Amino acid sequence: MKKFLIFIFSLALPVLGIAQNQLQRADTTAMRNVTVESIEVLPTASRIKGMLLLNTDVQYELEGAVDNMYNFKYATAEKQFKSIRRRYPEHPLPYFLMGLSQWWKIVPTNIQTKKYDDLFFAYMDSTVQKAEAMYDKNEKDVEAAFFLAAAYGFEGRLHSERSNWRKATFASKKALEFMEKAKAGNGLSPEFLFGESLFNYYSIWINENYPMLRPVLAFFPSGDKRLGIKQLSYVANNGFYTGTEAKFFLMKIQSNDEKNMEQALKISQSLATKYPDNAYFQRYYARLLFVQGHFTAAERVSLNILAKLDQNMPGYEAISGRYASYILAYINQNKYRDFDKAKGYYQNAIMYAEMTDERDSGYFVNSYLNLGRMANQQKDIAAAKKYYTVVLKASEKKSGSYKEAKDYLKANKKR
């Protein structure tokens, strides 16, 4: 979420420049009065004709390919995307899907890996090139505007993750510009609502949570958080290309921001069930099950994650291992009282955290904290002091873990 904030903030930089030049902002008030019911207007055949994005035959052909991509069967999906590209070499759709496939190779690493960056940007640049050619022929082409907004939006997101601020700002400005133009297609398909829904929600969310950005946000189009969630839900249930992306954001919004854990778990379960080999969806589902006390299901999903990690399945890397190992350690410690198994899983969680250089993460600190507690329960004071010393060094000074470690080490200083 922090990175998404940076992405949104980067949009503000060019907007401030526009305001200083006294350019007129686009009128976006119309969407504030849109209801879910009014969104569901059947598109007219004349407006859809020629749009590959809305071509049902192409959607039927690509349905398995899109599912394969989200289920991390990248090679199979990309083979199908390339087949579409051979038939429609001048259309942005196949290039965007190839870029999206690279994006979902990056996501499971929490955007840390850079080995897919060049290919990702190449495909998104190709998407922009093809969409610009369409747009130059017809500035009312909402399909071209959609792909331009989407490609620039994804580029801006990754550039912000990589701290390429100049490029992030340029891409974000372009994404916002073409998102406004793509709104004309909102009544045609849920695909066109995706960018609008995210902007509606996050522009207000940032205003509520980051007061220092309010002067900057004054130059943005007005948002509507409740409408954003409604729109995002509609896209999640009806979008073909953007439906899973919408569910991805809804899941995170409901769990992290709205604190509606029941709804977040419902969405997460649907994603994990539909895409059983998607490491990101699986570990998110495991975490939501765990924090809501569904230990039996959390244990089952976590064991499955580790089994797939052992098989070197795509997307199953150290981060997924850290999640699953910690969950299994906690369950063995507190449900089964099997301290030996718990120790092994906590040590694995620590190992995975070190592999991704995340020694300040909660999983790392709490693994050592619980190892210290178990060692103390087993009267192994020397081991407990060793674990608590790590907790003291890795924890923030105002945290409960820091206080517990400090108190324990003080009380056992002479032992």
Residue 15 has pLDDT above 60, yes or no: no
Look at the block and give the residue holding tokens 């590209």: 85
In sequence order, what E strands does 207-247 have?
none
pLDDT at 217: 56
Residue 198 confidence (pLDDT) = 87
The mean-pLDDT minimum among 15-19, 225-229, 257-261, 411-415 falls in 15-19
Q: What is the DSSP letter of 1?
A: -
Dist. CA 261–CA 267, nearest whole Å: 10
Q: What is the pLDDT of residues 229-244, one digit of tens each?
A: 999 999 999 999 999 9
Q: Residue 281: which pLDDT band, with cuts at 50, 70 and 90?
A: very high
For the beta carbon of residue 244, count every other beta carbon within 10 angstroms. 22
Count CB-CB contacts under 10 A for residue 163: 9
Average pLDDT of the chain is 87
Which of 14-28, 105-119, 142-156 comes out lowest in average pLDDT?
14-28
CB–CB of 280/107 below 8 Å?
Answer: yes
How distant, in Å, are the alpha carbons of 207, 283, 350, 356 from that of 222? 11, 35, 45, 39
pLDDT tier for residue 346 given thresholds of 50, 70 and 90: very high
**77-123 residue pLDDT tens:** 999 999 999 999 999 999 999 999 999 999 999 999 999 999 999 99
Residue 43 reports pLDDT greater than 60: no
Three-state secondary structure call for residue 335 = coil
| Residue 386 pLDDT > 50 | yes
Average pLDDT over residues 195-200: 87
Cα–Cα distance for residue pair 75/169, rounded to 1 Å? 32
- Report yes or no: 154 and 107 within 8 Å, Cβ to Cβ: no
The two three-digit tokens of residue 214, written as one number: 């309010």
Return the pLDDT at 20.
36
The pLDDT value given to residue 31: 30
pLDDT score of 19 more than 50? no
Q: Can you tell me the distance from the alpha carbon of 18 to that of 118, in angstroms, rounded to the nearest whole number?
A: 31
pLDDT for position 200: 86
pLDDT tier for residue 52 given thresholds of 50, 70 and 90: very high
Tell whether the model's pLDDT for residue 334 goes beyond 70: yes
Q: Which two tokens stand for residue 206?
A: 């940032």
* Single-letter residue type at 246: A
User: What residue ranges do the domains of the chain occupy?
Assistant: 2-259, 280-411
Which candidate, 108, 206, 110, 92, places its Cα nearest to that of 152?
92
d(CA 244, CA 12): 27
Residue 297 pLDDT grade (very low, low, confident, very high; cuts 50, 70, 90): very high
The confidence score (pLDDT) of residue 154 equals: 94
Architecture of domain 280-411: Alpha Horseshoe (1.25)
* Contact between 298 and 327 (Cβ < 8 Å): yes
- Radius of gyration of the chain measured on its C-alpha atoms: 24
pTM, full prediction: 0.87
Distance CA 333, CA 345 (A): 10
Q: What percentage of residues in the chain have a pLDDT greater than 70?
A: 85
- Residue scoring higher pLDDT (197 or 125): 125
Confidence of residue 33 (pLDDT cuts 50, 70, 90): very low
Amino acid, res. 38:
S
**Distance between CA atoms of 323 and 326, rounded to whole angstroms?**
5
pLDDT at 176: 87
CA 411/CA 392 separation, integer angstroms? 14
Provide the pLDDT confidence category of residue 185 given band limits of 50, 70 and 90.
confident
Structure tokens at 13: 């930089």
Residue 208's pLDDT band (cuts 50, 70, 90): confident
Long-range contact pairs involving 57-65 (C-beta distance under 8 Å, separation at least 24): 58/84, 58/93, 59/240, 62/97, 63/240, 65/97
**What DSSP state is assigned to residue 379?**
T
